Structure 1
C-alpha cells in the first residue's frame, strides 16, 4: 500500500504554480501576436519567440492556433466580464444594464489598445454562441421584452446586432482616433434598433461611467504592459 503524501511536501503545489505562470505567460504573448498579425497565419513560432520559451515547452500547453485563440479569448472575456459585471450586476433596469454594459466594454477596448487590436485582428472569429454577448445579454433582452422596453420584432436579431456593432466599433477604434462620445453613439444606435425611443436612448447613455481599471495581474494589464515595452526603443529600456 503506497504511503500517504507528505503534507509538508510542497513540490506538487510549486509545480502547479509554475505551470500556471507559464501558461499565463504564453497567453499574454499570444494576445499580442494575434493583435499584431490577426489569425490568418500560424502564430506559434512568433508566440514562442515573444514568450522566450522553447518549442518543447510551448507544446506542453498548446497544440494549435485555435487552442491559443480560445485560451486568449476565454481569459480576456473572463477579465472584462468580471470588471463590467461589478458595475452592471446591481442595475435593476434591463435597458440601462444593456446600455451600460456595452458602453463599458467599448470604453475598456479604447483604454487598452492591445484589447482593441486583438479584437479587431480576430474579428468575426470570436463572434458566436460562446462569446460573452451570447452568454449575458439574452436574459436582459428577455426581461426588456416583458417590460415592453424592447420591440419584440427586433428581439430575434438583437444579439447579432449587438455583436456586429461591437466588432465594427472596436475595429474602428483600433484603426484610429474616434470622437470622445463614439461608444455612446454606437450604443444609442443599438438601443434604437431594439425599439427604444431617441429620447430614452440618449438618457440611457448619458449617465457618467466609472473608470474601470484592470487588476495589475489581469491579462489586459500584463499584455498592455508587455506591448508597451516591445514598442519602446531599446536605448530607453536599457
Structure 2
C-alpha cells in the first residue's frame, strides 16, 4: 500500500497534520495582510493631506520592508485595495437608502445628500473617498454606483443624453462639493440639498422637479454610518 493510500503525505506525514499547517499558515498570512491594510487606513484617517508611504506603513505596522513586499508590490497597490474596501462599505450602507425609490433622479440626489451626511459623521472615511475614491479608477464600485443611475436616467429620458464621463463628473463634483462644505461651520444646513438640485438641473431635470426631489425626506439615520470604519478594518483581510 502506498503512502497516499495510507493517508500520509509524500514525506510520510499524515494528511491531517499537513492540512492543519496549511490552515495555520493561511491565517498567519491573512493576519499580516490585514495588519498592513489597517495600518494604511489608520494613517489615511489621521493624515488627510497625503497618501502614506511604504516607510509610514511598515513603521505603523512594525514590520520590515521585506514583509511588506511579500503582500504588496508598491504603495499604490495597497492603496488601491484599501480604497476599494472603503468604497464597498460606502456602497453597502448607501445603496439600500438610494434604492428606496424608483426614480434615477431620486437616486442621484440621495447619493449626494448621503455623501454630505458621511462627511459630517465620518469625516475620516469621507476624506478618503473625497481624495481617492470618487475618481472611480481606484474604486470601481463607486463608479458603478453612479453609472447605473445615469444610464437609467438617460434611457428613461429623465436626463439629457451626454457622455457618461461628463454626467459622472457633474454628480461627483456636486457630491465632493457638498462633502467639503458640510464640514465648514458657516455652511447652510440645506447645502447638500442645494448641491443635489444643481446636479439634477445639470443632468437635465426641470428646476422645480429638481428642487422637490432634492428636498424630499431622506429617512437616513446617522447610526448607519457609525460602524463604517470598523467594518472596513474588519473586512481588510
Shorter-chain TM-score tier: 0.7 to 0.9
Is 1:218 matched up with 2:231? yes
Match of 2:112 in 1: 102
Match of 1:53 in 2: 63
Instruction: Return the offset for 1:68.
Output: 1.8
Give the TM-score of the pair, scaled to structure 2.
Answer: 0.75
CA distance, structure 1, for counterparts of residue 50 and residue 121 of structure 2: 23
Match of 2:12 in 1: none
Match of 1:145 in 2: 154
> Which of the residues 30, 37, 48 maps onto 1:27?
37
Q: CA-to-partner distance for each residue in 1:167-186, whole Å, 9 max, x for gaps? A: 34434456x44443332222
Match of 2:200 in 1: 191
Number of aligned residues = 220
- Structure 1's 193 and 43: CA in aligned 2 closer, same or farther, altered over 3 A? same
CA distance, structure 1, for counterparts of residue 180 and residue 49 of structure 2: 12
> Conserved in 1, the CA contact under 8 Å of 2:133 and 2:139?
no
CA distance, structure 1, for counterparts of residue 79 and residue 139 of structure 2: 13
Match of 1:118 in 2: 128
- Structure 1's 184 and 25: CA in aligned 2 closer, same or farther, altered over 3 A? farther
CA distance, structure 1, for counterparts of residue 214 and residue 70 of structure 2: 46
CA distance, structure 2, for counterparts of residue 221 and residue 113 of structure 1: 19
Instruction: Return the offset for 1:127.
Output: 4.3
Q: Which moved more, 1:176-185 or 1:2-11?
A: 2-11
- Structure 1's 48 and 182: CA in aligned 2 closer, same or farther, altered over 3 A? farther
- Structure 1's 45 and 108: CA in aligned 2 closer, same or farther, altered over 3 A? same
Q: CA-to-partner distance for each residue in 1:111-143, whole Å, 9 max, x for gaps? A: 11211332344488x444853343132332222
> Conserved in 2, the CA contact under 8 Å of 1:150 and 1:196?
yes
Supply the RMSD in Å over aligned alpha carbons: 3.3
Is 1:12 matched up with 2:12? no
Match of 1:233 in 2: none
Match of 1:66 in 2: 76
Q: CA-to-partner distance for each residue in 1:16-70, whole Å, 9 max, x for gaps? A: 3333233223222213323516446x61111112223333322222221211210
> Conserved in 1, the CA contact under 8 Å of 2:105 and 2:153?
yes
Instruction: Return the offset for 1:217.
Output: 4.0
Match of 1:235 in 2: none
- Structure 1's 199 and 15: CA in aligned 2 closer, same or farther, altered over 3 A? farther
What's the secondary structure of 1:53's corresponding residue? coil
